[in-house]
Amino acid sequence: MSGVLTAEKYSEILEEWKKSPMKKPRIAKVTVNVSLGYGGERLQKVAQFLESYTGQKPVYRKAKRTIRAFGVRKGESIAVMVTLRKERALEFLDKALEAVARKLKASSIDQHGNVSFGIEEHISLPGVKYDPELGIIGMDVILTIERPGYRIVRRKRNRRSHIPLRHRVKPEETMVLLSEMLNVQWV
């Protein structure tokens, strides 16, 4: 493994997961975001591409404020995003990691174990060919990692509860999880 995660720490985390399966994190969702900065016909084509590639209908995102220098008005659709869960998330994630050669930076993990990385050109995804009407687009891929039982933070009925820090996912555990599940190499 790379500098942050030693072989001893790697095996220690795997042993802990074997002893206590509820501590093993999982991929809760994968969010794919494509932002053009402007709306119109090209944004609709990007949405169609995203829907055909992920198999799920994307949501349009609106500008939060007006920026005259960029020609963006408040309320104008400027991006599309799609949230994938379970099998669809793993299928897309496998393709997205192929586009980046299964190498991610350790610095792309936040303190809660979530990972984000970018794909510069969508044509680097497997099975995608260049379309002159669409052009070249980039996308952000965000992985949300959580342990079983994290639902108590989001639940609406009964009582919401606080998750202690010891139950949150650490960056090292995310590195081990993605290395084991998807053969990710950390740079």
Residue 1 lies in a domain: no
Residue 2 lies in a domain: no
Residue 171 lies in a domain: yes
* Range(s) of the domain holding residue 30: 7-186
Residue 50 lies in a domain: yes
Q: Is 52 exposed, middle or buried (0-12, 13-18, 19+ CB in 10 A)?
A: exposed
Number of domains in the chain: 1
Residue 41 lies in a domain: yes
Total-model pTM: 0.85
From 127, 122, 132, 133, select the one nearest 34 (Cα to Cα): 122
Angle at 126 (CA atoms; ends 121, 132), nearest 5 degrees: 50
Q: What is the DSSP string of 91-115?
A: HHHHHHHHHTTTEE-GGGB-TTS-E
Per-residue pLDDT of the chain (187 residues), as tens digits, is 444 678 888 899 999 999 988 889 999 999 999 988 777 788 889 999 999 999 999 999 888 788 777 777 787 788 899 999 999 999 999 999 999 999 999 999 999 889 999 999 888 888 888 888 888 889 999 999 999 888 788 777 767 778 788 888 999 999 999 999 998 998 8
